[in-house]
Structure 1
Amino acid sequence: MIWTMSNRVQTVHLDYQPRAAFLPFHQRTKRRTVIVAHRRAGKTFSVIQDLIARALNFQKKDRNGKLYSRPRFAYLCPCKGQAKLVAWQYLIDFTKTIPGVKKNETELWVEVPTVTGDMARITLGGADNPDNLRGSYYDGVVLDEYGDMKPDAYSLVLRPALADRKGWVVFMGTPKGKNDFYKRWQTALEQPDKYFAIKLKASESGILDDAEIEDMKSEMEVEEWQQELECSFDAAFRGSFYGKQIAVAESQYKFRPLDYDPTEKVSLAMDLGRSDAAVIWFWQVIDGEIRFFDYWEQSGYDAEEVCEMLALKPYSYETVWLPHDAMHQTFASKKSVMDTFIEHELPARKAPNPDAGNRVMHGIDAVRKFLRLWPFAIDSDRCHRGIEALKNYSRKFNRASSSFTSEADHNEWSHGADAFRYAVLSIKDEDLGRSVERARTKHRSQTQARGQINTSRNTLDELFAARDRELIARARNPGRAYD
């Protein structure tokens, strides 16, 4: 590295031999970078070296050809303590031989001289309080474990801070479901002209020893292996409430295209929200199977607008299940959400609430049982967003103890999961029984119309028994075709 100070040119040698997997990263030219890497790939080690090298070589000019002064760079983790733990010693060790280096351990920054004789500052920090990041500018920012950060930390605070000097950003981490990090990865793949993207799987990167990989694989759960070492965004991740049940349901062809039956009534369950998302699951119970065939999610809708949306649907509603807070009156209107739905002649009822007293786990256990044992199917296309909500609904992570709590994390996925919980709590055994009886009646009517039925009691009983056997077989093997 070449830098100048007091009209002298000196050479700085960083004691760093990049791994082959990270060479393309160091040679990148795009302003935006997404790194999806397996555990122990060395991404923190590499990005700290990259930050130092870019700080030493900083000589960017503005549109008038004037050099920008006092460059600023940042390495951010979800919290400041984590940044200090994983990166501070690297930053100190890698810069200690650079002449003129300065450091402040209290504020977690290091300053190194640039090629122009200026001083560039590299700061470590946390994104858990985005307001603390306001008021500064940045020439480059690394966001480590971005999937654990609030998206607003970047979009509302850091992105504007990079604007005036056209700074660069690196989003990196290991998958934890389809959160904002996943969206960044998808965007990077879709926009290769704007993003540099790299994914390092343990089985492909060559960084970890093959024997060690196999040993780790033997000690890890399948979903942990897929997520932590094979960088799968689709794997059920640690902390997920329903991850394992969803994986089994997928293998049983529970998620598949479904048809809406206009001859059958529709039930729905919703989670309310205006500033947050409002979510609705729609289902029919047909032939002894609960079929979730439609899903709706929008932000900014009030009760009146939701009712108008439901009126436009071609559905005949049997029951509209509302959460317990739909009973509350608002100060502005003196009218509850329940009142609004009833005024629109919708068959609204309050969903059963085992969560009273904050016992949310009762409802979560009911959903787990439903996913394991009940005959159901979910439309894989229209309900895709809802399926992702069930996959990603998870516990909060306690960074102090490095463990998951029993409390649910309130994020973009919790609304869809909450509405599904209300649906499950509302569905009863009798609903399945009535659907089977309706199927019997429909089958008998169709058979009579064809003039193929023997009216003797024994023959009719045999017909019903055969139909029952078919329904049981269909519930056990939903992917099988039946006549």
Structure 2
Amino acid sequence: MAKIRLPNEWQPRPYQRAAWDYLERGGKHAELIWCRRAGKDETALHRTAVASFERIGTYWHMLPMAAQARKAIWNAVNPRTGKKRIDEAFPEAIRRKKNDQEMYIEFVNGSTWQVLGSDNYNAMVGAPPVGIVYSEWALSNPASKAYLRPIIAENNGWQIFITTPRGKNHAHTTYQGAKSDPDAFAQILTAVDTGQYDAEKLIKLRAEYVRDFGEAMGNALFDQEFMCSFESPILGAVYAREIRDAAQRVMRVPYDPSKPVHIFWDLGRADKTAIWFAQLGPFEYRVIDYLEGVGKHIGEYIPDLQAKRYVFGDCWLPHDANNELLASQRTVAQQLRDAGFKVRTVPKTSIDTRIEAARLMFPLIYFDEQKCAVGLDALNNYRYAVDEETKQFSTEPLHDWASHAADAFGYMAIALREPKPQKLQQPKNPRTMINPGRIAPGYWM
């Protein structure tokens, strides 16, 4: 039987050595913000191969979406060698079984490794993992970490987060957290740090980005991908300007017991349900809370709502809530009415209409910085996809982990929008107005 030395025919490059040494010493939490083509997945795969024979257990390599996993990892070919990356990291001699459909490998010592999507984290079955790689973490569902972290902690396992930045979203938050943790490893490696490209090549690459995307966006993308800048906006972000302008209105926004709390839903089936909580002030909206869940039926949300001890006003549901069933014989609207909620439905509208209404509403909103943090992260990551060949944006935003919070937010904007006046009453140049909810002047702060 052939002897295999792990890592298999591979050694970390000089700039990868610090991270590799940390993990080899038994490090449990690494945040690797490395530039494009710096070998993030390659390093993680080889480290997982070694770990699988240091400790028998279950190991996962997670992409943002399950649909990406096959192309990005399972079938990915190393352009320098012409070999599949999984064959390089996990040679056949160390495998007992391979399942192509499940993208699953069992090793001869009993450890297992699988490629998965963080968009479906709550549906994963089998033994709990002892090691997880979050690839493209900045684009992944941050709820996956919150869900899996207790499992990793209980198993004394490890987590590696690898990504290039996508604005100051959850990846920036976890990187900053690791920087302040003496037991964690946090590192930013730019294209200058790695030495992969000389100055002339970097100048040429920047020029190509500017040519393809225009000066502002091209420079921002180059800085994001090669300089690992968290300052660059997320490409295609729907509410980039609105969230930037709202920065001073993200603060502590306390619940006012004298005013009802209106709730606005986006309903999921197998995926996420999202709920925003808002109170109406004089010429403003106070968004005081946000709640989301995955794979739960409506009956499971009712105790969560009641536990908040708010005085509820209107309960706004999507237009199809009277038809939609979530693991029940009664409609969503019926279940909530039976629980005592005053149910109303948002009229059917297009995504573009909801986005425009939300943009008009944004300047009037104050967000609670703690209770709305998860929802705001989703709004920040709500984006149009970009075709890598044509450089064109998709006609509708990407449907991923961020879209549910954004849809509920859009329904809120439609529900609170000022009704259009009768045709005879319309001025010559009508403008869409936001219903302030009160006519008295003044501010709550």
Q: Which amino acid aligns with 1:23?
A: R
Partner of 1:95: none
Aligned pairs for 1:451-466 (under 5 A) are none
> Highest CA radius of gyration, 1 or 2?
1
- Partner secondary structure for residue 288 of structure 2: strand
1:344 to 334, 339, 345: 339
Identity of aligned residues (%): 24
Kept in 2: contact 1:321–1:350 (CA 8 A): yes
The 2-side partners of 1:264 and 1:176 are apart by 37
1:43 to 39, 43, 51: 39
Partner of 2:137: none
Partner of 1:454: none
Instruction: Structure 1: give runs of 5+ residues left out of the alignment.
Output: 7-13, 64-73, 93-102, 441-470
Partner of 1:414: 403
Distance 1:235 1:284, change over 3 A: farther
1:429 to 418, 421, 444: 418
- 1:23 equivalent to 2:17? Answer yes
Kept in 1: contact 2:384–2:397 (CA 8 A): yes
The 2-side partners of 1:75 and 1:434 are apart by 44
Aligned pairs for 1:68-467 (under 5 A) are 78-82=68-72, 87-92=77-82, 109=87, 131-136=102-107, 150=119, 152=121, 171-176=161-166, 193=183, 196-202=185-191, 216=206, 219-221=215-217, 223-225=220-222, 227-232=224-229, 236-250=233-247, 253-273=248-268, 275-299=270-294, 301-328=296-323, 330=325, 334-355=329-350, 360-371=351-362, 374-396=363-385, 405-429=394-418, 435-437=437-439, 439=440
Alignment TM-score, normalising by the size of structure 1: 0.60
Distance 1:90 1:365, change over 3 A: same
Partner of 2:424: none
Alignment TM-score, normalising by the size of structure 2: 0.64
Kept in 1: contact 2:62–2:118 (CA 8 A): no
Q: Which has the higher contact order (CA 8 A, sep 6+)?
A: 2
- Partner secondary structure for residue 240 of structure 1: coil
- Partner secondary structure for residue 80 of structure 2: helix
Kept in 2: contact 1:397–1:404 (CA 8 A): yes
The 2-side partners of 1:204 and 1:210 are apart by 12
Instruction: Structure 2: give runs of 5+ residues left out of the alignment.
Output: 4-8, 133-155, 420-432
- Partner secondary structure for residue 274 of structure 2: strand
Number of residue-to-residue matches in the alignment: 386
The 1-side partners of 2:245 and 2:171 are apart by 25
Q: Which amino acid aligns with 1:172?
A: I
The 2-side partners of 1:404 and 1:186 are apart by 31
Q: CA deviation at 1:422?
A: 0.7
Distance 1:292 1:38, change over 3 A: same
The 1-side partners of 2:216 and 2:250 are apart by 27
Q: CA deviation at 1:292?
A: 1.0
The 2-side partners of 1:37 and 1:151 are apart by 25
Partner of 1:450: none
Q: CA deviation at 1:226?
A: 5.3
